[in-house]
Structure 1
Amino acid sequence: MLKTQSSFADNLNESGTLYLVPTPIGNLQDMTFRAADILKSVDLIAAEDTRNTQKLLNHFEIQTKQISFHEHNSKERIPQLIAKLNEGQSIAQVSDAGMPSISDPGQDLVRAAIDADIAVAPLPGANAGLTALIASGLVPQPFYFYGFLDRKKKEQKTEIAALVSHRETLIFYEAPHRLKDTLKSLLAGFGDRKVALCRELTKRHEEFIRGSLSEVLEWATTSEIRGEFVIILAGNSQPEELAVPSFDLSLSAEEHVQNLIDSGEKTNDAIKQVAKLRKLKRQDVYNQFHHID
């Protein structure tokens, strides 16, 4: 059913407006004047983490009340927020950092508001993925935003396999404690592509680590990993050549097997794949991996 929304026309049903308000991803000076004004003027702020958002509100001397809204209480909270909007209250939804609805339950709230004929007004603002992309040195368009890969090895491997043929530059998010394992999975699944790791964007310790996947994995193995990361990965320039998956030629067969195991493969399956890719006898790879003379 076709629906048309005029965000700032007089609302005939007298419901409130749901504002989607981006917040800084690090540097508080990236807060827009309009975003601050909206947070001051609404009746309620639906925040992913009220303690984190309170620091932002204190900085800009905003006294608007908050209500928690995150992935663990979204099913309970959405009907409550829609009821308040229908009563004529205006609500601003914010995430911990960056754009609402990206890696938070905002999408479900937006859908519920649209279904209830409530106006949804998005504000422009900071976004970690695009900020990293334009400084990565990789082709900025087209791009494919993926966000966080699944934490489970098996599901992560399936996700990566579905992305291998994409020509677009790929954008991932990752937490510091999972970065090294994720880089291993990316190297095993994509081959040794160009990549940029973007850390602590807009903050004092902002840093870019650019190179091949094998190079940045070595960096991650030998460095102290801190801060949230955006991973910008080169797309596949030759998807028609995917019949034979690529691998790092500098790796020994034993290291290649270990990489596949680290990415979630069972040992025997990894040995079989390495033997096939390198056109070696399976028994020879088995013996080399298990150090059998």
Structure 2
Amino acid sequence: MRADGPAIVVSDIRKSYGDLRAVDGVSFTVAEGEFFGLLGPNGAGKSTTLEIIEGLRKPDSGSVRILGESPWPRNPALLPKMGVQLQASSFFERLTSKEQLQTFGSLYGVSRAAAVDMLELVGLTDKADVQENNLSGGQRQRLSIACALAHDPEIVFLDEPTAALDPQARRNLWDVLRAIQARGKTIVYTTHHLDEAEILCDRVAVVDKGRVMAMGAPAWLVRKLDAQTQVIVEHGTVTVEIARNLPGADKVIDDGVSVIIATNDAGLTIKALGELDALNKAQVRTATLEDVFLHLTGRAYRE
């Protein structure tokens, strides 16, 4: 019996491949029932960090505790308590959705009926008798998550579960992830979609070059950035000269479609635009988690 405490404790883990420091002193904790996101650009060390936590890779140094136990060396006692969905999902050939789940469940001694219950959770009950290769991309992702949940684990690891999905399939999967957390599960996941991390996660860690650059609730990280608000008005509504002289206006950009006013006092600027009758179709854009991400990791594209 473990003492009460965090579901996951990661302490100064490091992993190098030759001269490349893939993970360089990462530390964080995840509370029971928390939805925790690992965010970062390509090559930031997210997947390696996740694989170390899952017990799939041995760290060069540092330690990980999952539910009070170490996942490395491979810990059979922890396996039934963890569900893992990797970036690339593999299924047994020629099996239906129901048969896939029953097969995965049987590896943990789960009854066939209990395993199939996961189909309802991920919204695939009507696809129970459909072979995996005939499912859509979004349905395959949901089946992959159902397989990770077939044995009812306490902690679920998801590595970019919404990658390559269309917007409708992504939002459908959000409902599945919310339903999983509502069942009391602890979720740790990686993603490149900052909008969904901002909506789904209780806390996130922004990782770059193998290090945690910032960590906290998305809303807290956004407030901490203290970024300017952008008031966007339709091109021709006001001139750049007028916009530059508005109260609160700090910087004005004319992109040919809109006049974008950066301001530290949006209320004052919007009030002035209203007095000029220039608020028709105006938009107000506040900082988002994406702004935090770009501020911390830079804007240069990475392969």
Could you say whether these structures have the same fold, taking a TM-score greater than 0.5 normalized by the shorter chain as the test? Answer: no
Give the TM-score of the pair, scaled to structure 1: 0.30
TM-score computed with the length of structure 2 as normaliser: 0.29
Structure number having the greater helix percentage: 1
Q: Which has the higher strand share?
A: 2
Between 1 and 2, higher relative CO (CA 8 Å, sep ≥ 6) is seen in 2
